[in-house]
């Protein structure tokens, strides 16, 4: 019975989370109870050392800094202006509005890395505009939800920072490896929209010529400079400093946070109420992530202390799955788990269990990190608990039904699954840079 205690612990935590109990306290609380039962009171000493080690992890400082940067760009209205400018730049093409949403989604992903903020911002600004211009609710909601989740894979992504910490690999290497998959996914979305525009031209009308003419007359160059070039330079400063080896991801996150404040000041939006709101939301989001991280630290300590990773490895060896079979099984498990629980829970519960087994099997963890990031991105889009769908439904006009959102997202989920299979078959795509 004792040898199967790690499996019982893992299953119990998973079940309690599905029943709606708070993740951080379920992970930490149940693990501590089992830890005391198995290891006695000395367990608390081991746990305090582990938690202190997590607190000293310099890489994790990037999380609150990237979150601050993303929320500052959202609250200061820079993201909104970027979307409006791009919509008018691409507006003269059929499907131009949908193309602009994807391009802006990619830019916001590269400057925020926060899915909720991006989906809500684009849902509030672009969804009413797309519907007013004659776009169908299915395509409109699908494009917005899919583009809003690009922050999961396009660096600097909070998900990649957390995965780097859990997999014990360089976050900078993960960022570099994610560039080609991230850009590739954006190109796949754009190709789908262009093909859709050719097949159903009446569903994706171009914007009126008078409106585009009026936009050009009002000072096109200045608007493009302030709305597009400045955020692009911020992205370049953050990612360029990491890729050039000038700064670590944490230092680059500091540059990004400071740069977002400068952009807000240039735009005349850097005011005390805005700063207070940004700091409040950053604190709440960061606290949630780190409380779950402390709970996950307790779980990981107990699980490995009871040799749960060895038990799983023995089960896999007995099943004769091999490295490829095991990785496929993990990806399937993560995909199914994404239907029911949040990406942070998956990163801190499932990944620490399977990571040592992958190391033992000689699987490249950088490649695994990118596959997991795309898989977790898909989990944001899959009913019934796809968080991007909830965010979008929360800000959608009343005429947009939940069924429209569910139907609209299907092509984009299929694109992501096909792209994930492509990366699985050709792992060298993650190492080209």
Residues 263-287: tens digit of each pLDDT: 888 888 888 888 999 899 888 878 8
The total number of structural domains in the chain stands at: 1
Residue with tokens 């829970």: 345
Tokens encoding 267: 């735009």
Q: Please state, in angstroms and rounded to a whole number, the distance separating the CA atoms of residues 234 and 90.
A: 22
C-alpha R_g of the chain: 22
Q: Decide: helix, strand or coil at residue 418.
A: helix
The DSSP letter of residue 2 is G
Q: What is the pLDDT of residue 117?
A: 64
Instruction: Spell out the residues 6+ positions from residue 148 whose beta carbon is closer than 8 angstroms to its own.
Output: 105, 108, 115, 118, 119, 122, 123, 388, 391, 392
b/e 251-277 (16+ beta carbons within 10 angstroms → b): bbbbbbbebbbebbeeeeebeeebeee
State phi, psi for 13 to the nearest 5 degrees.
-65, -45
Task: Kindly report the length of the chain.
Answer: 433
pLDDT > 90 fraction of the chain, expressed in percent and rounded: 12
Summarize the confidence of residues 224-233 as an average pLDDT.
76
Q: Please state, in angstroms and rounded to a whole number, the distance separating the CA atoms of residues 98 and 129.
A: 11
Q: What is the pLDDT of residue 115?
A: 63
Q: Please state, in angstroms and rounded to a whole number, the distance separating the CA atoms of residues 2 and 238.
A: 49
Cβ distance 378 to 338 under 8 Å? yes
Residues 174-206: tens digit of each pLDDT: 989 999 999 999 999 999 999 998 888 888 887
Cβ distance 381 to 416 under 8 Å? yes
Residue with tokens 């954006």: 186
Summarize the confidence of residues 160-185 as an average pLDDT.
89
Reported as a pLDDT band with limits 50, 70 and 90, residue 423 is very high
Largest pairwise CA distance in the chain: 77
Query: The domain containing residue 176 runs over which residues?
Result: 2-430
Residues 102-148: tens digit of each pLDDT: 888 887 776 655 666 677 777 777 788 788 778 888 998 999 889 88
Q: What is the pLDDT of residue 366?
A: 93
Helix runs in 272-380, H state only:
272-305, 308-319, 322-337, 343-361, 365-379
Residue with tokens 């262009």: 194
Long-range CB pairs of 273-280 (<8 Å, 24+ gap) are 274/72, 274/75, 274/76, 277/75, 278/68, 278/71, 278/72, 278/75, 279/68
Whether the CA torsion 391, 396, 398, 403 is positive or negative: it is negative
Summarize the confidence of residues 73-97 as an average pLDDT.
75
Closest CA relative to residue 395, chosen from 121, 147, 140 = 121
Q: What is the pLDDT of residue 406?
A: 86
The answer to whether residue 256 scores a pLDDT higher than 60 is: yes
Residue 16, CB-side half-sphere exposure with 13 Å CA sphere = 18
DSSP 54-92: HHT-GGGGHHHHHHHHHHHHHHTTHHHHHHHHHHHHHTT
Instruction: Report the mean per-residue pLDDT for the chain.
Output: 81
Predicted TM-score (pTM) above 0.75: yes
Instruction: Spell out the residues 6+ positions from residue 84 whose beta carbon is closer than 8 angstroms to its own.
Output: 125, 227
Q: What is the pLDDT of residue 370?
A: 93
Cβ distance 185 to 149 under 8 Å? no
Q: Please state, in angstroms and rounded to a whole number, the distance separating the CA atoms of residues 147 and 83.
A: 12
The answer to whether residue 388 scores a pLDDT higher than 70 is: yes
Question: Cα 288 to chain center, whole Å?
Answer: 16
């Amino acid at each position: 019975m004792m040898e199967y205690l790690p499996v019982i612990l893992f299953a119990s935590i998973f079940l309690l989370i599905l029943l709606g109990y708070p993740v951080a306290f379920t992970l930490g609380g149940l693990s501590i109870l089992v830890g005391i039962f198995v290891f006695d009171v000395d367990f608390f000493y081991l746990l305090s050392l582990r938690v202190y080690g997590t607190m000293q992890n310099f890489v994790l400082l990037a999380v609150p800094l990237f979150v601050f940067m993303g929320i500052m760009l959202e609250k200061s209205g820079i993201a909104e202006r970027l979307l409006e400018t791009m919509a008018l730049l691409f507006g003269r093409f059929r499907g131009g509005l949908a193309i602009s949403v994807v391009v802006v989604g990619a830019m916001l992903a590269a400057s925020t890395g926060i899915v909720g903020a991006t989906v809500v911002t684009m849902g509030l600004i672009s969804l009413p505009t797309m519907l007013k211009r004659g776009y169908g609710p299915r395509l409109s909601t699908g494009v917005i939800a899919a583009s809003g989740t690009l922050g999961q894979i396009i660096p600097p992504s909070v998900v990649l920072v957390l995965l780097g910490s859990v997999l014990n690999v360089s976050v900078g290497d993960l960022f570099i490896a994610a560039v080609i998959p991230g850009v590739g996914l954006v190109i796949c979305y754009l190709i789908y929209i262009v093909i859709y525009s050719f097949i159903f031209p009446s569903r994706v009308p171009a914007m009126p010529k008078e409106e585009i003419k009026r936009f050009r007359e009002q000072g096109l160059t200045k608007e493009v400079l302030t709305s597009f070039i400045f955020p692009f330079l911020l992205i370049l400063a953050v990612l360029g400093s990491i890729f050039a080896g000038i700064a670590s991801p944490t230092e680059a996150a500091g540059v990004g946070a400071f740069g977002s404040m400068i952009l807000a000041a240039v735009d005349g939006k850097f005011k005390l109420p805005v700063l207070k709101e940004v700091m409040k939301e950053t604190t709440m989001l960061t606290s949630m992530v780190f409380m779950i991280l402390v709970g996950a630290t307790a779980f990981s300590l107990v699980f490995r202390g009871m040799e749960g990773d060895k038990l799983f490895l023995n089960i896999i060896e007995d099943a004769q799955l091999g490295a490829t079979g095991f990785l496929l099984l993990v990806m399937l498990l993560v995909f199914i788990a994404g239907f029911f629980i949040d990406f942070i829970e998956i990163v801190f519960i499932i990944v620490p269990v399977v990571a040592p087994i992958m190391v033992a099997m000689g699987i490249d963890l950088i490649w695994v990190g990118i596959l997991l990031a795309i898989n977790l991105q898909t989990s944001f889009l899959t009913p019934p608990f796809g968080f991007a769908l909830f965010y979008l439904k929360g800000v959608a006009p009343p005429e947009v039904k939940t069924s429209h959102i569910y139907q609209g997202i299907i092509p984009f989920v299929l694109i992501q699954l096909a792209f994930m299979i492509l990366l699985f078959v050709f792992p060298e795509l993650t190492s080209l840079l």
